[in-house]
Chain A
Amino acid sequence: MSTKPAARTPISKVWEENAVPRHRIQWCPGCGDYAVLNAVKMALTRLELMPHEVLLIGGIGCSGQIRNYLNGNALHGTHGGPLAYAVGVTMANPELRVIALAGDGDTFAIGVENFVHACRRDPNVALIVMDNGVYGLTTGQRSPTGGLGQPQEEFSEESPPAFNPLRLALAAGATFVAQSFSGDPRHSADVYVEAIEHPGFAFVNDFSPCVTYNKFNTYDWFKQHVELVPPDHDPTDLQAAFRLLDDFEARGRLPLGVIYRRPRRKKPQQRLPMWDHELADVDLEPMLRTFR
């Protein structure tokens, strides 16, 4: 792997092959997801991975289309499912680099069950959530992270306050929690490199503005509110991570960078047998013995 920062490495053309041509990408002009796409390509280039080594699992929604916009094996399943598929993939073949790419509705609403338990199970998966606070593909309904930073006087069952995915991830036992912003793809790429290299479940919440349906959380709004995690923050300290979130929240700021990173000690796993020769000559004797 190159020692240069991700952003300084030219994107390898290999990630443009076997993908929907650039001119047919169906995101609105200015969509934050373009920056995520570029940052993912930068990170993959920097990591010197080959497309056949990665499996991209896309969620339902605008953001999940990203799987077809770059090279690499891809799966696109049901709404809320990416992390559950990912658990099976990594259990079956730990050698694959699995990257789940989904939206905030997919991950924090219909798929929140899988998000919480992925934090516990710690599969070797990097999850990049393209968080824009709306269900863009279905014309802009509010998602669990909708209303971020928006003053609201009264609340109701229909319009609860915005949800904080970073706190949920930390509380659920995630071993890697980070945040990035599409307005700064070079920084995002560095975060993604760390996430993909993390030996476990790595969650990156990326602020990816929806220019069509979210007129509040705009690029300008984010630029005014984001702030890099200070260099003296100790990401291996869970309490420090919570304190950092408290501090940023109190100041009305949104942290960018790695907030928590503490790999868990894990049992080594092998790829499961799958080829004919690995499955031939099954010895039933140990099982049969118990029935005699």
Chain B
Amino acid sequence: MVTNRLKLLVGGVQLRDGVGTVVDVVGRILTRAGLYVLANERNYASTIYGAHQFDPLVISATPPLSHGDNLVDILMALEFDSNPDVPQQPNRDTILRHGPHLRDGGVLLYDSSTGEVPVDDLVARGVKVFPLPARQIALRELRREVVKNMVVTGALFRLLEFDMDQAYLRQLLEERFLRKGRELVELNLEAARRGREVIEQVLAAQGWRDVGYRLEPVPTNGERRLLVSGSEALGMGAIQAGCRFYAGYPITPASPLLAFMERWLPRYQGRSLQGQNERESIRAALGASLAGVRAMVASSGPGISLKVEEFGLAGAGEIPLVVVNAQRAGPSTGMPTKTEQADLRMMIGAGHGDFPRIVLAPSTLEECYTMIQEAFYLADKYQCPVFVLTDLTLAEVRKTVPEAFFLEHRTPPHREGVLTEAELRRDGYRRYAITESGISPRIFPGTRGGIFKVSGTEHDEFGFVTTEPPKRAAMMDKRMRKLETYLREDARGPQVVGTPRGNPVLVGWGSTKPVLLEARERLRAEGLDVAVVHLTHLWPFPAHLVRPVLADAAAIIVCEQNWSGQLADLLQERCLLPTRRILKYNGRVFYVSDIIRGVREILRNGATEFRVSEFVPVTVEAHEGD
């Protein structure tokens, strides 16, 4: 019997089968019960209705290091056939796609409303199969199709011998539905009971006492826990940091942040603007920033490409701006709902001409919260664009986090380098004063006694246009000196776990850190000592902090989700150290086993690079949009 440690995968037809609802309800209830939930691999399609969607959930009594492997313990297939006569039966989709990854002796729960599915191969592997006519129960017996989600949830909880008295479920349902009437709460609870009954019947008929997995509440000693998504953590961090103007344009996977800011900014006297296009968004944000407000935009690859022109203005005009790029698989429209880390080169180089910029890449949900605060501080201090590189995995991750984390990691906003009326001398103010640090104090328009002329055209200290060679050179040098100041005062070296000296080192950036840490644990258990070096501050590249860490490594294995090895190239360029690469770009996250296989290929067989590719046979052809 395994208690409080399992991986659950819920799959079904997008929008129709309630995959999202079931995962949300289960995640919230388990979080309240003191368990840790990590949903790091949300997989949905770039269509609204009809495609296959799945959402794996790691559940454990202690915070899980990562989402682990693609092996699952419990598979829930929520599809039913809308037309049982068609030869390709969609209610086998989840089973066909994920059945092979179901652990021997695992559990399959599927909707059998439109007929049973042959699962002899799974039974032969010791899988316990539970056909559950969830939709039929909801539609025929309870007359409300939507309660299907509760039939399924009730059945799952019974399988896991969890919430046997329905106390957690009742609490959640009352919070959600009591406003609409007690009957609705009771109907949902009844649905859950029907689901439980079916499980009990199958258990009795098969003579099984249990399924080998169970969950039980864990006391938290009064510690309050939350189920938060990456986008929410980032948005909350931005509001904490004093961001009061946000502009976005609908794009996956940055849209959840737009929704969050639209919902919450007005509550904090801020405003959120949905631009008419990507360019209007960033221009409006620059306008707001010029007017004195901390402003942010977010987008994903295609939208970022459209904003590039304004990065140069933020750099040359010295207007602070925080730009979030929630990367998705490119190029062009690419795979809008699939994860990738292929925009690093773009973020450190996009735009014509040389201008100062800072690139940060948080590697966990928690760092999304803390690093966005840092980004606003840096944008103000250095008056340049600060890019925060996340990806679809980080934007969509949902995870149990202690509430105290958010309260304890708050930096009170401080607007550095802004002059007030008292500090200005009439006509003496020079917006682009040449300084040692490269930073020229700015003012907010409306401040008496100071006038500025901000321009993206090359300018003198007052902001007037000039092409005089000495003035141009001095202004260029001044702007670029900010990078030196940053490297001296604010750059941070990589996060190091283990001993890089003399050992193979896994190097990563962004959302892959948890997987690298778990791979390290597993390799150590096998007797191979490896270290993990994870970079969060990517530009200006802190070579003086990175090179000493990696110089004596036995092998530098850079693990990234892109085709070319963008961080690896950057490391070679800035640190002059040879790298090996583990690369994955098929739209799925790294699994721990991918890293282990890559390390073996590289260390034992001497490969210079390892490309993760697995052929997944197409079961149901889906034509997605964008």
Contacts and interface: CB of A to CB of B under 8 A. Distances in A.
A51 B244 CA distance: 26
Nearest to B414: A276
Which of B267, B284, B456 has the most C-beta atoms of chain A within 10 angstroms of its own C-beta?
B284
Contacts of A85: 283-284, 286-287, 290
B104 interface: no
A52 B448 contact: yes
B276 A88 contact: no
B228 interface: yes
Contacts of A269: 271
A145 to B, nearest CB: 22
Contacts of A50: 448
A115 B26 CA distance: 48
A89 interface: yes
Nearest to A51: B451
Interface in B203-242: 224, 226-228, 232, 236, 239-240, 242
Given A85-B286, A86-B287, A87-B287, A274 B292 contact: yes
A84 B282 CA distance: 9
A288 interface: yes
A78 B271 CA distance: 24
Interface in A204-227: none
A18 to B, nearest CB: 5
A-B interface, 6 closest residue pairs, ranked by CB to CB distance from nearest: A88-B287, A84-B283, A88-B284, A85-B287, A291-B226, A92-B291
Interface in B383-420: 403, 406-407, 410, 412-415
A88 B455 contact: no
A72 interface: yes
B444 interface: yes
B290 A89 contact: yes
Interface stretch (B124-132, B134-142, B154-162, B457-465): B457-465
A71 interface: yes
Contact of B239 (A71, A95, A287): A287
Contacts of B294: 274, 279
Contacts of B273: 87-88, 91
Nearest to B448: A52
Given A88-B285, A93-B291, A291-B227, A273 B412 contact: no
Interface of A: 17-18, 20, 50-53, 55, 65, 67-68, 71-78, 81, 84-93, 95-96, 113-114, 117, 269-270, 272-276, 279-280, 282, 284, 286-288, 291-292
Given A91-B284, A113-B277, A284-B240, A68 B464 contact: yes
B323 to A, nearest CB: 14
Q: Which residue of B224, B276, B449 has the most chain A CB atoms within 10 A of its CB atom? A: B276
B288 interface: yes
B451 A113 contact: no
Given A55-B445, A67-B453, A272-B245, A284 B406 contact: yes
B286 to A, nearest CB: 6
Interface stretch (B34-42, B309-317, B492-500, B570-578): B309-317
A273 B445 contact: no
25 contacts: A20-B464, A55-B445, A65-B465, A68-B453, A68-B464, A68-B465, A74-B452, A74-B453, A76-B455, A81-B279, A88-B273, A88-B284, A88-B289, A89-B290, A91-B271, A93-B445, A95-B446, A96-B445, A272-B269, A273-B268, A274-B292, A279-B244, A284-B239, A286-B267, A292-B224
Contact of B415 (A55, A75, A275, A291): A275
Given A279-B413, A280-B412, A291-B232, A96 B446 contact: yes
A61 to B, nearest CB: 11
A73 B295 contact: no
A114 B280 contact: yes
A291 B228 contact: yes
A282 B452 contact: no
Nearest to A64: B457
B439 interface: no
Contact of B268 (A18, A55, A72, A282): A282
A160 to B, nearest CB: 23
Contacts of A89: 287-288, 290-291, 445
B587 interface: no
Given A55-B290, A93-B292, 16 more contacts: A20-B464, A68-B464, A68-B465, A75-B287, A76-B453, A76-B457, A85-B286, A91-B273, A91-B287, A92-B289, A93-B446, A272-B245, A272-B270, A273-B270, A276-B412, A276-B414
B286 A276 contact: no
B248 interface: no
Contacts of A52: 445-451
A289 to B, nearest CB: 9
Nearest to B277: A113
A78 B309 contact: yes
Interface in B419-455: 427, 444-455
A292 B220 CA distance: 14
A292 B410 CA distance: 19
A88 B452 CA distance: 18
A73 to B, nearest CB: 4
B279 to A, nearest CB: 7
B442 to A, nearest CB: 11
A72 B452 CA distance: 7
A96 B447 CA distance: 11
A67 B232 CA distance: 41
B368 to A, nearest CB: 14
Contact of B292 (A78, A84, A92, A284): A92
A274 B415 CA distance: 8
Nearest to A71: B451
B247 interface: yes
Interface string B289-304: 1111111000000000
